[in-house]
A and B are shown apart, each in its own frame.
Chain A
Amino acid sequence: MNKSNKLWRLHGGIHPAQMKELSNRTPIGQIPRPKEIILPLNHSNGAIATPCVKVGDHVNKGQLVATFNIPVATKIHASLSGRVTAIEPRIIAHISGLPALSIIIKTDDSDEESFLPKIENWSAMSNDQLISRIEEAGIAGLGGAGFPTQIKYRSHAPINTLIVNGVECEPYITSDDVLMREYSAQIIEGTLIALKMLSAKQALIAIEDNKPEAIAAITSELTRLSPSNIELRVIPTKYPSGGERQLIYILTGQEVGSGNIPASLGIVVQNVGTIYAIRQAIIDGEPLTQRVITLTGTAVANAGNYWVPIGTQIQHIIDATTPELIPHEVIMGGPMMGFDVPSTHAPVSKVTNCLLIPAKNELPRRSEDKACIRCGLCEQVCPVNLLPQKLYWNSKHHEWEQAELNSLFDCIECGACSWVCPSEIPLVQYYRFAKSEIKKEHVEKVKSDQARKRFEDRQKRLEKLALEKDAKRKARAAAAAKAQANKETDVESKLGDQAKADILASLARVKAKKPKTEQPPKDADTLRLAWESAEEVVLKAKNKLKIAETENTATVSALVTALGKLETRAKKAKEAWMTASTPNNNHDGESE
């Protein structure tokens, strides 16, 4: 890469009052142990971590308490020892003021620690082992985004340069500044570990020129160790030089394309706080349970930097430093990109770098916004080369498609445009609104596409079922018709040919005799003969049945039926003869 110390000039940017001397005059302090720790389980993408402790469990400092079952998330550790008193929704540090499910730990003074085993000789470990340790330690990007650190190291793109971001360009915030002053050796060590994990050639440590003490500390450490692959780059003070993409441009002159990540250029950017946390996790086995937080603003008495266990309530930090203070406003983050905390009972998180508690008139109040006068100042200060004024019109008039075409999603919400706007238009608020509306529309689109698919699949299934049902009904009808046809020939087909012939013959005979009985009176003798022959047939049939019973059971039932019929006929013939014989006598007598 570039061997010279050339720096590129960032487009735009602003120079707001630094206000850093409020909090960078004192070494990093400790705050008294909080009584309660609140560890929210929510993830920015909506996932909820699964707790691995129960209410009533005792937990040690550094003990794993919850994990996510998605890869892009960090593990959650108890930041102090104590007892889990509840797993319930609590207000967290989110602009919405809505509660999120959290693990509540009542702390005790046992101070037992459950750290990971120390790694003495990290250079002998494989990269995979080291990266797994980063994941186990729950390290997230401490610069503000909170991106799970292990993901950056598992990138498949070859990495050439590691940029250690100690720029800290936002006014008021000094947590990285004091960390570099006091822990420069650890930061250099962490940088070496990170270089190994990335297999990168060089590391650039970037610091703004408004932090001479930090620059001196890092320089003296670099002189002492003189590592060949780490260089310090002092960059001019300008907001927002500390943005990931902005810093890459300043140091290398390369721009990360829209929608791409720095790894596409072979670059990984890490905040100095994250580098320190990596060093602690590898060498001391310490999970990420505390961080340096700047407490500042003219309303607080003991402004400065403090080591704060993650999950400490903001109110506890205020009470410990400035009792009796009733803040009229607490900003988490800096004055440019921070947000008003909805409640001081919300806990601090891994990404909380600053708590700004300004006095009433400390920050410029936004007066009534006026009409846009098309002055174009916002365009001149935009560090991303966007057209803020156009985005403002698009957002105001809900022209989401146009806003996206004007690269709304490349806006880093640095607030430079709002800062310079002479009409005091809350531009960033418009962009945030537009972004969240577009995201909402996208979610709804996904949901409605899913519903459409399910609806159409259901229609298809119902049609298929109807067709199948119809086909089955037709098949059943055909089968029934066939069965009916078969039934008629069934009896005959079951009997042997001889038996069939016999039965047919006897039926024919009976039939032949039948009309005779109905005909005008026959003489008794004829009827008697008919009866006798019928009896004869019955007898024959009985014999047949007997044979069938001994030989073939299949025809028995048919024969039994046939025999029954023949017997009835024989009976009828007998009755006919009996009745005929009496009237015949009468008739004879009368005719005489």
Chain B
Amino acid sequence: MSILTAILVLLLLASLFGALLGYSAVRFKPEGDPVVAQIDALLPQTQCGQCGYPGCKPYATAIANGDAINKCPPGGMATVEAIASLLDVDIVPLDAETEDNPTQLVAVIREDECIGCTKCIQACPVDAILGAAKLMHTVIESECTGCDLCLEPCPVDCIDMVEVPKTIHSWSWTAPVSQNSEVKIIATDGDRH
């Protein structure tokens, strides 16, 4: 008899919690894929397509579905490390011929050579090029991600990628050079990565 009561109680509890879980799964369902959004937030949003996907979000989706995390040259090793720590996977070296730590570039149209074909406008993933057919185009530099997708379609090659000049405002401190980086007094003195 007592065994029967126990089984009944357990059954009751199981069905109660099952119903609760089932309800909350429907009621509190997160919109979209949270993992994709988290990965997307770590990507540099240059939308350059160097990873082989048409933008950062598609690549984030691909990573969530198991693609390699090292296909983003603009993000460099910093992005690889961030995604690795988010997904708790191993850090892999960047899969690209391009060197790590790229300089910040911005597209500039040589405006007197522009023929107004609008091809670059269509290629720009972030709508950073302004212009109309048969009228001169120009790049809104503050919105340009430096993806260089506008270079290839230009029929007259009037777009240059130039380095963003360092100004007093964008200047930043560098790490102090430590002469004793090898000295360890206790174990945690070492590199923590």
Contacts of A372 in B (CB 8 A): 185, 189
Given contacts A92-B168, A94-B168, A397-B191, contact A369 B128 (CB under 8 A): no
Which residues of chain B (147-193) have a CB below 8 Å from chain A? Answer: 166-176, 178-180, 183-185, 188-189, 191-193
Q: How large is the interface on B (under 10, 10 to 19, 20 to 34, 35 or more residues)?
A: 35 or more
Minimum CB–CB distance from B68 to chain A (whole Å) comes to: 21
Whether, in the assembled complex, A498 has its beta carbon less than 8 Å from a beta carbon of chain B, the answer is no
Residue pair A369, B126 in contact (C-beta under 8 Å): no
Known contacts A454-B126, A455-B56, A455-B125, A436 near B178 by CB under 8 Å = no
CB-defined contacts of A396 to chain B, threshold 8 Å: 178
Q: Given A42-B169, A458-B127, is A433 in contact with B56 using a C-beta cutoff of 8 Å?
A: no
**Can you name the residue of chain A whose Cβ is closest to the Cβ of B74?**
A448
As a 0/1 sequence over residues 568 to 581 of chain A, the CB contacts with chain B under 8 angstroms (1 = contact) are: 00000000000000
Min C-beta distance of B139 to chain A, whole Å: 13
Shortest B96–chain A CB gap in Å is 19
Q: How close is A92's CB to chain B, nearest CB, in angstroms?
A: 7
Give the shortest distance, in Å, between B76 (CB) and chain A (any CB): 12
Q: Are B172 and A368 in contact (CB under 8 A)?
A: no
CA separation between A531 and B45, bound complex, in Å?
Answer: 85
Q: Which residues of chain A from 273 to 294 have any CB-CB distance to chain B below 8 Å in the complex?
A: none
Most A Cβ at <10 Å: residue of B127, B170, B178:
B178
B contact residues around A433 at 8 Å (CB): 173-176
Nearest chain A residue, comparing its CB with the CB of B192: A397
Q: Is A52 an interface residue when CB atoms closer than 8 A count as contact? A: no
A 373-391 to B, binary, CB cutoff 8 A, 1 in contact else 0: 1100000000000000000
Chain B residues contacting A456 (CB-CB under 8 Å) are: 57
Contacts of A94 in B (CB 8 A): 168, 171
Decide: B184 and A371 in contact? CB cutoff 8 A.
yes
Name which of A57-65, A216-224, A424-432 contacts chain B.
A424-432
Tell yes or no: B116 within 8 A of A by CB.
Answer: no
Answer yes or no: A439 CB below 8 A from chain B CBs: yes
Tell me the bound Cα distance from A399 to B43 in angstroms: 19
Alpha-carbon distance between A145 and B171 when the two chains are bound, in angstroms: 19
Do B168 and A452 touch (CB < 8 A)? no
User: How distant is the Cα of A444 from the Cα of B175 in the complex, in angstroms?
Assistant: 19
Nearest A residue to B181 by beta-carbon distance? A396
Cβ of A96 under 8 Å from chain B? yes
B127 in complex: contacting residue of A368, A369, A454, CB < 8 Å:
A454
Which of B36-94 touch A at CB < 8 Å? 40, 43-47, 55-57
- Determine the chain B residues whose CB is within 8 A of the CB of A458 once the complex forms: 125-127
Closest beta carbon of chain A to B25's beta carbon, Å: 28
A455 contacts B55, C-beta separation under 8 Å? yes
Distance in angstroms from B31 CB to nearest chain A CB is 15
Interchain CB contact under 8 A, A440 and B172:
yes
CA distance A343 to B172 in the complex (A): 19
Using A429-B176, A451-B143, A452-B45 as known contacts, say yes or no to A371 and B183 having CB atoms under 8 A apart: yes
B47 to chain A, nearest CB (A): 5
Q: Which residues of A contact B118 (CB under 8 A)?
A: none
Known: A368-B180, A369-B180. A455 touches B126 (CB 8 A): yes
Asked if residues B180 and A454 are in contact (CB atoms below 8 Å), the reply is: no
**Shortest Cβ distance from A282 into chain B, in angstroms?**
33
Known contacts A436-B173, A452-B56, A454-B126; A369 and B45 CB within 8 A of each other: no
B residues less than 8 Å from A374 (CB atoms): 185
Q: Which residues of B contact A459 (CB under 8 A)?
A: 55
CA distance A396 to B176 in the complex (A): 9
Determine how close the nearest CB of chain A comes to the CB of B127; give it in whole angstroms: 5
Contacting residues, chain A, for B56 (C-beta < 8 A)? 452, 455
User: How far apart sit A6 and B108, CA to CA, in the bound complex (Å)?
Assistant: 63
Find the A residue at minimum CB distance from B190. Answer: A397
* Closest beta carbon of chain A to B143's beta carbon, Å: 6
CB-based nearest A residue for B172? A436
Given contacts A439-B172, A448-B44, A458-B125, contact A368 B179 (CB under 8 A): yes
In the complex, B145 has a CB within 8 A of chain A = yes
Let me know if A451 and B171 touch, CB within 8 A: no
A-B interface, 5 closest residue pairs, ranked by CB to CB distance from nearest: A46-B169, A448-B45, A436-B172, A451-B45, A96-B171
23 A-B pairs (CB sep. < 8 Å): A46-B169, A94-B171, A96-B166, A371-B185, A393-B188, A397-B193, A429-B173, A429-B176, A432-B173, A433-B173, A436-B173, A437-B173, A439-B172, A444-B44, A451-B46, A451-B47, A451-B126, A451-B145, A452-B56, A454-B128, A455-B56, A456-B57, A458-B125
Residues of B within 8 A of A (CB): 40, 43-47, 55-57, 125-128, 143, 145, 166-176, 178-180, 183-185, 188-189, 191-193
Given contacts A448-B45, A449-B45, A451-B47, 11 further A-B contacts (CB under 8 A): A44-B169, A94-B171, A368-B179, A369-B179, A372-B185, A397-B193, A430-B175, A448-B43, A452-B45, A454-B128, A458-B125
